[in-house]
Amino acid sequence: MVPEDKDPLKSARGDFYHQGVITKLFPSNNTGVVRTESGRELTFSYELVLLLGEAKSPLDLNVGEPVGYDLGWTSAGLRVTKLKTYPKTKSDIGAPDSEGQRS
């Protein structure tokens, strides 16, 4: 009997989305770019992407933010159709600035 948590299709975050990072956001054009785990850059449109998770609006997205994504074919080619954002972890937030503090 195989444990359920050993599913080979699950991502490191425990879901079934591909993993990537937002590398560019263009609010004036309502578009953005996600870099995949393999290094490929895929675009998305604010109007056409479905947001899941922590972000409720495209304005909640940030460059450098790790995301889960799903792909679909459009008339313009392969595009990101779903973005899932995750809760911030301590490593995402970073350490507070320690300048001027004694050790």
Give per-residue pLDDT as tens, 31-58: 999 999 999 999 999 999 999 999 999 9
Confidence of residue 89 (pLDDT cuts 50, 70, 90): confident
pTM strictly above 0.85: no
pLDDT of residue 75: 87
In the predicted model, what is the mean pLDDT of the chain? 84
- Alpha-carbon distance 85 to 29, whole Å? 21
Mean pLDDT of the region 2-26: 78
| Cα 24 to the center of its chain, rounded Å | 11
9-86 topology per CATH:
OB fold (Dihydrolipoamide Acetyltransferase, E2P) (2.40.50)
Give the pLDDT of residue 15: 79
What are the residue ranges spanned by the domains of the chain?
9-86
